[in-house]
Amino acid sequence: MLFTPDSPSALSLIPALQDRKLVLASASPRRKQLLGMLGIPFEIRPAHADEVYPDHLAGPDIPRFISELKARAAADTMVPEEILIASDTVVQIEGDTLEKPQSAAEAVQMLERLSGNTHEVTTAFTLVDGRTPDVLITDHDTTSVSFGHLSKEFADHYIKYHQPFDKAGAYGAQDLIGACGIHSINGSFYTVMGLPMHKIFTGLNSLNS
């Protein structure tokens, strides 16, 4: 599906994308929104990959592994003029990784754990140039996020009305919990949303035009 953003085009700032086609290997509406800030049309082509990682991985190595897993799955469909972006986001607290909740009860447990604490959100991304599809360029960014106290009533309301089930850690920084539950962020807000746009911009500019 081709997505044409309303934002003014930044194509002149990214020479590597001249005469190329940008592909986002994700169905995430948040990543679609963020990449759309560049004002450059891109195709949405979700990657179909089992998001399973080896037990020995920890920290940023987890989203980097899954991002590359998605990139390899999507790269099979690429043609030479395309540049693909795959990505993965994880929430980590005290050495544990909080993935997407599978039930309301699990979402409540995650929010209770995050309540009143500081955790890390890491988003990794992988760039693939269709001319060299076997070469993966992967980077990541980590942001610290601190929550105030979340009452049981707040958590129940949030889960009922804000659909946390497609979000790592059971929350989205761009919605109610970001406005009312997060009291500080140390790092990029966009990394928490799902794409470290400052590094995406740098990474795209590093590709040969």
Residue in 19, 55, 88, 141 annotated catalytic: 88
Instruction: List pLDDT tens digits, range 25-65.
Output: 999 999 999 999 999 999 999 998 888 899 999 999 999 99
Catalytic site residue 61? no
Instruction: List pLDDT tens digits, range 102-118.
Output: 999 999 999 999 999 99
Q: Which long-range contacts (CB under 8 A, 24 or more apart) does 5-13 make?
A: 5/36, 5/37, 5/38, 5/39, 5/40, 5/41, 6/36, 6/39, 7/36, 7/37, 7/38, 7/39, 8/39, 9/38, 9/39, 9/40, 10/38, 10/39, 10/40, 11/38, 11/39, 11/40, 13/201, 13/205
Architecture (CATH level 2) of domain 2-206: Alpha-Beta Complex (3.90)
